[in-house]
Amino acid sequence: MKYCMQIVTATLLCCIAFTACKTVPVTGRKQLNLVPNSMIQALAFSEYDSVVKASPTLMQTDDRAQMVTRVGGRIQQAVESYLQQNNMSKEVKNFKWEFNTINQNIVNAWCMPGGKVVVYTGLLPVTQNETALAVVMGHEIAHAIARHGNERMSEGLLISLGGLVLEDALKNKKQQTQLLFLGLYVVGSNLALALPNSRMQESEADKLGLIFMSIAGYNPEEAIPFWQRMASVNNNKTPEFLSTHPSDATRIKKLSVLIPGIKMHYFKN
């Protein structure tokens, strides 16, 4: 009986994975996409509003905030135009773009599903210029375009819930779903699945980010000196195999290979 249940469970998981398989724009990679976009965007917009309201956000009269908005707007317009030209406008359907700068000494930026972007002022001394900022914002926007948040949440649901109570989790276990979205839901298969996939998503966002910044008119070659500066301020000594991000050295090596081709095909100066 137990063996039969294992077979049934495995079959159901295979069916779920097959029917929920989507394609990442531009790269063409197949990904798991179980969560309705309307749900994940509602969670994202709510969390984004909470963070922004509780943070020391710069006014748009501040030069730093203006630069963040300018870079974000250029990349947004370039991405939307590119997707429209390639019959992929649906990928940004219902996006509600927003760019905010939080005045905190944190070397970070992020983009929620649906186009909600935050840049911390602590990042700006490392970017040093507008083009390097485009490296970061292109990367973060790429996460949203590629729906990496949905993919990660879908993987977490499958790992933690076995896919058998997915509908119940989405409809009735709102708190549990919220925790999973926020990355607080710890899964047992973290090292086996979640971390490697996260590193893969980071590399994919690197590639897409270079493409997006290039079609927006920013030279992708700036990515190398920027990541070299990041490496010099990065105090995280976590081994790469235990990290959700590729090491700075790995990232720089991969970007160096990608940049010439991307610059040739996408860069508009």
Residues with catalytic function: 140
**Contact of 230 with 136, CB cutoff 8 Å:** no
How far apart are the C-alpha atoms of 84 and 125, rounded to whole Å?
35
108 Cβ neighbours under 8 A, 6+ residues apart: 120, 122, 123
Asked if 166 and 25 count as a contact pair (C-beta separation under 8 A), the reply is no
Render the burial of 155-165: b for 16+ CB within 10 Å, e for the rest: bbbbbbbebee
**Cα(66)–Cα(56) distance, rounded to whole angstroms?**
16
Is the distance from CB of 135 to CB of 126 less than 8 angstroms? no
Residue 150 CA to residue 146 CA, distance in Å, equals 9
Are the beta carbons of 38 and 163 closer than 8 angstroms?
no
**Beta strand 30-32 pairing with 21-23:** antiparallel
Give the closest residue to 153 by CA, choosing from 41, 30, 6, 10.
41
Give the SS3 label for residue 97.
Answer: coil
Q: Residue 187 in 3-state DSSP?
A: coil
28, 198, 247, 115 alpha-carbon torsion, rounded to 10°:
70
